[in-house]
Amino acid sequence: MDANTFVLFGATGDLAKRKIYPALFNLFLDGKLPEVFSVIGLGRREWSDETFKANIERSLHSFSRREASDAEAVTKFLSFFRYHVLDVDRKEDYQSLLKLIEEREQALGAEPNRLFYLSVGPELFETIANHIQDSGLGDTKGWKRLVIEKPFGRDLQSARDFNAQLSKAFTEDEIFRIDHYLGKPMVQKLHLLQQTNPVLQASWNNRYIANVQITASETVGVEERAGYYDHSGALRDMFQNHMLQLLMMLAAHLPKGDDSEQVRSKKKHVMQSLEPLLRQDVATQVVRGQYTSGTIQGKPVVGYKDEAGIPQESQNDTFIAAKLQIEDDFWRGIPIYIRTGKRMKEKATRIVIEFREPVKQVSNTNNGGKPNLLVFEISPNEGIYLRLNTEGEAQQQDLTKVLIGSHKSGSEVPEAYENLIYDALRGDSSFFAHWDEVELSWKWVQPILDAYAANEVPLYPYPAGSFGPQAAHDLLAKDGFEWWFDRESEAATSAKNTGNTSSQASLSIK
Ligand SMILES: NC(=O)C1=CN([C@@H]2O[C@H](COP(=O)(O)OP(=O)(O)OC[C@H]3O[C@@H](n4cnc5c(N)ncnc54)[C@H](OP(=O)(O)O)[C@@H]3O)[C@@H](O)[C@H]2O)C=CC1
Ligand SMILES: O=C1O[C@H](COP(=O)(O)O)[C@@H](O)[C@H](O)[C@H]1O
């Protein structure tokens, strides 16, 4: 059953402005919001309803993927919103909030089903959860849900403590932990692709797959988040959550249907089957990097240590690459390489599956040397590609790239937050991170955190605008592989710079 009241803590903040209001607006345009709907925005700022609505409208104009040009639609959308001043530590603010919610529920004839969305720093989660419990806000005749943003802990122990605290006020079924990578449409389609395509099902195992490469590269640097990022780094910010979730979604052999229990149990199986990383192996299986000055899309940029708010002596990681192995019957023996970093050459999240080379083995000729690839472009553009050997092309530099299904560019792809908020409103937790997954992820990552803290892993510099440190390439080279598409991307850039957009450059998957 849909939520009727959306209670937004942190309604004056950055995430609300950039993601939550635009997502709600696009859901509204698609007719996906409940018919009876009310949003109560909360913050310490002394805003009136009018100021609040004006801010929301501005956010739609700046950040919505679809234009907010229909004045009537915008007015109707804004009519859902009310603002309430609340300091999370002030008990009486929760009492007045309860009164406002009940008034709105009565006026609208809404069921008392309440979704509490915490778009605030994690240090406030526990206080808010306890006050929701104590004030009677959660004591509703309908149901309650809690949506929380990352980060979910800083390490294994803090995540466990944090979860224990939240569990006093909300059951696991009521907690929806957002990992926005799980909301990306291509990620949500991964299991359907396997289930509905026998050709993929048949080849989704160690008989046919040589290796898997998962990349999330960003061109942005630390931006205005130095305070947060310098205490987080690529490992905590991206790897422990988004990258391991991508791995789970790819590697889980999910059953047909959308039963969230099944999805979670299969994802948990992947994490439980991950070969544990021993602390003494971290330095050989993990590459830690930090960007130095360089050029991004033709513009010079400063190195990490020269970014505003970053201390000169910072040892923080802005890049990580790691080799993982899953010990189960499907994946045993397939190396899985994961990398993510800031200030890299291109903005791209993609998964590449490299298949073994049966032609070479069977015919013993030179022209079977290129493996087939299956490529999932996840964002910012979306598409699935297969690279095949085709007759007469074996002598050429590269293989034929076949687009499967449609290619969608940025604005056509629904934002992850649209999918996730829609699911949270309906109570479908399939694409939210369950506590078991979060705990197992921290458990796997903990030896890396320990090795970093003890400085047992070199911190390799890499120039902004590159694909990371050389050591990340060596990680694959040791196994006889290389990261796919780095060279094509380099070629595409240099072709663009020289005006030659034929040959290699056209092979780049965009
Ligand atoms: N911004 C982003 O792109 C992303 C953010 N996140 C996570 O989302 C959460 C919010 O981030 P973001 O929006 O960037 O943070 P901001 O600092 O921009 O906003 C924080 C919000 O919290 C409110 N707040 C702070 N202290 C109190 C208090 N004592 N009582 C009541 N309200 C309070 C502020 O309201 P006021 O100032 O009016 O009191 C403000 O609305 C964080 O957990 C962050 O890690 C996750 C992914 C991406
Ligand atoms: O959660 C985060 O994700 C973004 C990258 O998200 P994407 O959808 O643009 O790929 C990252 O920039 C940020 O540091 C991190 O906190």
Residue of 55, 69, 74 lying closest to 16 (CA atoms): 55
Tokens describing residue 188: 């949500």
Model confidence at 414, pLDDT cuts 50, 70, 90, reads confident
For residue 240 and ligand 2, the question of a CB distance below 6 A is answered with no
Which residue is listed with tokens 């804004």?
A: 78
pLDDT digits (tens, 9 = 90+) for 103-144: 999 999 998 999 999 999 989 999 999 999 999 999 888 899
Which residue is listed with tokens 């109560």?
A: 40
Among 9, 120, 148, 420, say which to mutate for ligand 1: greatest number of ligand atoms within 8 Å of CB.
120
For residue 134 and ligand 1, the question of a CB distance below 6 A is answered with no
Model confidence at 283, pLDDT cuts 50, 70, 90, reads very high
Stretch 281-292: mean pLDDT, rounded?
98
Residues 6 or more apart whose Cβ sits within 8 Å of residue 149: 15, 118, 119, 122, 178
For residue 218 and ligand 2, the question of a CB distance below 6 A is answered with yes
* 18 alpha carbon, closest ligand: 1
218 is in an annotated binding site: yes
Would the pLDDT of 366 be above 80? no
* 236 alpha carbon, closest ligand: 2
d(CA 359, CA 507): 22
10 is in an annotated binding site: yes
AA identity, residue 336? I
* 346 alpha carbon, closest ligand: 2
pLDDT score recorded for residue 369 = 58
Q: In what order do the strands lie in the sheet with 175-177?
A: 81-85, 38-43, 5-9, 114-118, 144-148, 175-177
CA of 150 to the centre of ligand 2 (A): 11
Q: What is the DSSP letter of 80?
A: T
pLDDT score recorded for residue 254 = 75
**Pairing state between β 348-355 and 373-379:** antiparallel
pLDDT score recorded for residue 361 = 47
Q: Which of 133-142, 268-277, 435-444, 448-457 has the lowest mean pLDDT?
A: 133-142
Which residue is listed with tokens 């030659």?
A: 500
Higher pLDDT, 489 or 84: 84
Tally DSSP H helices, then E strands, for the chain.
19, 17
16 is in an annotated binding site: yes
219 is in an annotated binding site: no
Instruction: Tell me: ipTM over 0.85.
Output: yes
CA of 39 to the centre of ligand 1 (A): 17
Higher pLDDT, 114 or 196: 114
Residues 6 or more apart whose Cβ sits within 8 Å of residue 401: 385, 386, 387, 507, 509
Higher pLDDT, 187 or 400: 187
Q: What is the DSSP letter of 260?
A: H
**Pairing state between β 382-388 and 400-408:** antiparallel
150 is in an annotated binding site: yes
Measured in degrees and rounded to the nearest 5, phi and psi for residue 230 equal: -70, -15
Among 188, 228, 237, 317, say which to mutate for ligand 2: greatest number of ligand atoms within 8 Å of CB.
237
pLDDT digits (tens, 9 = 90+) for 56-82: 999 999 999 999 999 999 999 999 999
CA of 165 to the centre of ligand 2 (A): 27
pLDDT digits (tens, 9 = 90+) for 239-261: 999 999 999 999 998 777 667 88
Ligand 2 atom with the smallest distance to the CA of 342 is 12
For residue 150 and ligand 1, the question of a CB distance below 6 A is answered with yes
For residue 217 and ligand 2, the question of a CB distance below 6 A is answered with no
Would the pLDDT of 227 be above 90? yes
Report which protein residue has its CA nearest ligand 1's atom 35.
Answer: 43
Would the pLDDT of 396 be above 50? no
Among 59, 119, 152, 223, say which to mutate for ligand 1: greatest number of ligand atoms within 8 Å of CB.
119
Phi-psi domain of 10 (left: phi exceeds 0; alpha: psi -120 through 50; beta: other)? left
Residue of 177, 171, 159 lying closest to 242 (CA atoms): 177
For residue 178 and ligand 1, the question of a CB distance below 6 A is answered with no
pLDDT digits (tens, 9 = 90+) for 372-381: 999 999 999 8
As a whole-number percent, the residues of the chain with pLDDT over 70 amount to 87
Report which protein residue has its CA nearest ligand 2's atom 14.
Answer: 237
Model confidence at 193, pLDDT cuts 50, 70, 90, reads confident
Phi-psi domain of 403 (left: phi exceeds 0; alpha: psi -120 through 50; beta: other)? beta
Task: Decide: 399 and 370 in contact? Cβ < 8 Å.
Answer: yes
Stretch 210-227: mean pLDDT, rounded?
96
Across the chain, mean pLDDT equals: 90
For residue 237 and ligand 2, the question of a CB distance below 6 A is answered with yes
In three-state secondary structure terms, 379 is strand
Model confidence at 506, pLDDT cuts 50, 70, 90, reads very low
What does each C-alpha distance from 51 to 22, 57, 147 come to in angstroms?
A: 17, 10, 25
AA identity, residue 18? R
Higher pLDDT, 360 or 48: 48
pLDDT digits (tens, 9 = 90+) for 14-70: 999 999 999 999 999 999 999 999 999 999 999 999 999 999 999 999 999 999 999
Would the pLDDT of 496 be above 90? no
